[in-house]
Amino acid sequence: MRKIVVIDPQVAGISGDMFLSALVDCGANKNKIINNIKTIEKLFSDTIIKKIEFINSESNGIRATKFLFDIEEKLLERNASEMLRILANCCDVTNLSELAKKFVMETMKTIIRVESRIHDKEVKDLHLHESSSIDTAADIIGSATALDDLDLLYDTTFYSTKVAVGGGTTQFSHGTIPNPTNAVLEIFRILELPIAGGPAHSEMTTPTGAAILAGLNPKIISTYPEFIPHRIGYGAGFKKFEGIPNILRISIGKSNIYASIQSDTVSVLETNIDDMAGEMIGDLVEKLSKLDAGVKDVTLVSGITKKNRPVHILKVICSEDIEKRIIELIFNETGTLGIRKTINERYKLERFSVLLPITIQNQEYVISVKISKDQHGKIINIKPEFDNIREIANKLGIPLKKTMDTVNNLIFQRNLYDV
């Protein structure tokens, strides 16, 4: 069964230390986390870790784990490029998995990307303040270590409720700004994740917490998915809110959606095209394919119409909510006078993509692999992402077919079909 993780920041928001604490409360090895954080201390000049521990705490009567991290820092800002180099070195000295390293770097890049936009500076000219502290690195490295230890970076679907971002104002290095802070708001704008003001009149979600959540690419939910919860962790923050437990809850379990074949409803749009050049039809197919995630498939079928005219039948399978955009695009691009529409029920097997680390010619890569399962939860097909295979082939200068065969053999050796 596929692992399910539900992150619930709808009441108290999310910060890096709350996320890390919740994972420890779920059973992540706190000694391994503490050791990794202590290991990176030497990479931050003029920095001393005075105290680091996870303690039992409570908020509004609810027991939780809290991360205590007391430091002494003399250097209060760093160049963004330098911070990326430090994080890369942190990954090397802590023996994180390739997927964990990728998570660390993408999380830091998210923070830097939004800071670059906010201050209108290139990365090489950008100086970070709060986010350049070892405190930020500790949250990210610690979280990556915990995710690694709980085996949550592979074959896992992450879910998140909407994120509470608080209200009022916050004081930081650039003065007084409203909540959510600019960085938090930018992260959620880029990732298109929903937020909600309140419930407290304070900062409830930090940039590090928002970036960590974004790095997990969660599916947004208003109600919990169907799953079997095995572990529940509570991570406490430091602020106290009247009537609001300052706690992030994380639930870890297994999927239970294998009782029957799933189905949904899709729109099928069709039109005949008999007066367009092949290059223009190809361009239309490309535009349709990139239009929206709601486009399920685009197909061209060659045929003969009355008076023996050659024709291409364009067929687009899509979700109903975007069919008007597709219809408008087809009319504008083709000049066709009519488009046929049918509503079909579609039966489908579970499918999902995971990131898989592989090694070819002593070089490590992370590829996206699409996995499909039957109604009983058994894996029936594993297919690597073609674009990833082509990129590896081009980098190594070897034939595409040979690269595909090599990757498929590596996947087969993982015994994933036995999962």
Query: What does the alpha-carbon distance between residue 389 and residue 408 come to, in Å, rounded to a whole number?
Result: 10
Q: What is the CATH number of the domain that holds 292?
A: 3.30.70.1380
Query: What does the alpha-carbon distance between residue 134 and residue 288 come to, in Å, rounded to a whole number?
Result: 45
What is the number of domains present in the chain? 3
SS3 114: helix
165 with 23, same domain: the answer is: yes
20 with 166, same domain: the answer is: yes
Cα-based distances in Å from 412 to 11, 352, 388, 417: 43, 18, 17, 8
Range of the domain at 356: 350-418
325 with 230, same domain: the answer is: no
Gyration radius (Cα) of the chain, Å: 25
Q: What is the CATH number of the domain that holds 400?
A: 3.10.20.300
Given 319, 348, 377, which residue is the final one in a domain?
348
- What token pair was written down for 405? 């065969």
211 with 268, same domain: the answer is: no
Query: What does the alpha-carbon distance between residue 202 and residue 40 come to, in Å, rounded to a whole number?
Result: 31
Bridge-based pairing state of the strands 156-160 and 3-8: parallel
Query: What does the alpha-carbon distance between residue 250 and residue 233 come to, in Å, rounded to a whole number?
Result: 5
Burial 347-372 (b: 16+ CB within 10 A, else e): eeebeeebbbbbebeeeebebebebe
**Nearest CA to 44 among 2, 74, 13?**
74
* pLDDT tens-digit profile, the chain (419 residues): 679 999 999 999 999 999 999 999 999 999 999 999 999 999 998 899 999 999 999 999 999 999 999 999 887 789 999 999 999 999 999 989 999 999 999 999 999 999 999 989 988 889 898 888 999 999 999 999 999 999 999 889 999 999 999 999 988 766 889 999 999 999 999 888 889 999 999 999 999 999 999 999 999 998 998 889 999 999 999 999 999 999 999 999 997 654 446 778 899 999 999 889 889 999 999 999 888 778 999 999 999 988 888 999 999 999 988 999 999 999 999 989 999 999 888 888 888 888 889 999 999 999 999 998 877 778 888 999 999 999 999 999 999 999 999 999 998 888 766 55
91 with 173, same domain: the answer is: yes
Given 255, 288, 322, which residue is the final one in a domain?
255
189 with 277, same domain: the answer is: no
312 with 372, same domain: the answer is: no
